[in-house]
Amino acid sequence: MKSIFAFLFLVVLMSCGNNKTIADTEGIETPAADTPDPNDGNTAIYDVDDDDPYLISNGYFLGLTPGGSLAEFVDGLRSGVLQTGDGDFDVHYIDSAEGDELGYVMADPRDGGTIGNIYITSPKVVTEEGIRVGISYSELVEKLGALEVHGSEIEGQTYAISDGISYRLDAGNWSYEIDPSTIEPDTKIIEIVVER
């Protein structure tokens, strides 16, 4: 008989637990309003959701920041070699909790114990402005306004730059000076670089 009363008590207790309450300043409890999530159902690649676990904010990504200690994070990173047309570089890959590669960091060439730049290569990572790898140049301009755009005379890479972050575009330019109006609006971002 005691188990039936315990079971009924548990059912009543659980049903009461679904009613959210908040205490006001006088100690009287009033029902809390359910506030709809402004990002509910948000599937656009460049929007920020409350549950985005991989956010670049104020020059930091997962605690990493250019100029910060690399030794402090190196055990949580995956060491590897990045092969480019300029040579092979020792890097530390950043993996998600699910095991997907999000990007990598390189040691500062002047101090191997310090983080140089942080390179983001996955669309799972988002900036506070809602910018991800994979969005178009026109969407980037829409979110950030006019950007400084430069090419690379050696690598032939193109970057749009704003507030310490460079957005590498899928466009080849071997001249440093570039007229931003010559960038095709649908050119995609292929890498986000948080710079020192």
- What's the average model confidence in pLDDT over 29-46? 38
Residue 85 to residue 185: CA distance in whole angstroms: 27
CB 108 within 8 A of CB 117: no
User: Does 70 score more than 90 pLDDT?
Assistant: yes
> Which domains does the chain possess?
2-31 (no CATH), 55-194 (2.60.460.10)
What residues have CB less than 8 Å from 113, skipping those under 6 apart?
A: 69, 70, 71, 107
**Is a pLDDT exceeding 90 seen at residue 135?**
yes
**DSSP string computed for 27-46:** S-EEEPPPPPPTTTT---TT
pLDDT bucket at 39, cuts 50 / 70 / 90: very low
Verdict on whether the full-model pTM lies above 0.75: no
C-alpha 120/C-alpha 61 separation (Å) is 9
- In tens, the pLDDT along 3-17 reads 333 333 333 333 344
Categorize the per-residue pLDDT at 61 as very low, low, confident or very high, splitting at 50, 70 and 90: very high
What does the mean pLDDT of the chain come to?
80
Contact 195, 65 (CB under 8 A): no
Q: What is the pLDDT of residues 73-121, one digit of tens each?
A: 999 999 999 998 778 999 999 999 889 999 999 999 999 999 999 999 9
Which percentage of the chain shows pLDDT scores above 70?
73
Structure-derived torsion over alpha carbons of residues 143, 149, 154, 156, reported in degrees to the nearest 10: 60
The answer to whether the CB of 150 falls within 8 A of the CB of 143 is: no
Distances (CA, A) of 93 to 77, 82, 119, 159, 189: 6, 9, 9, 22, 19
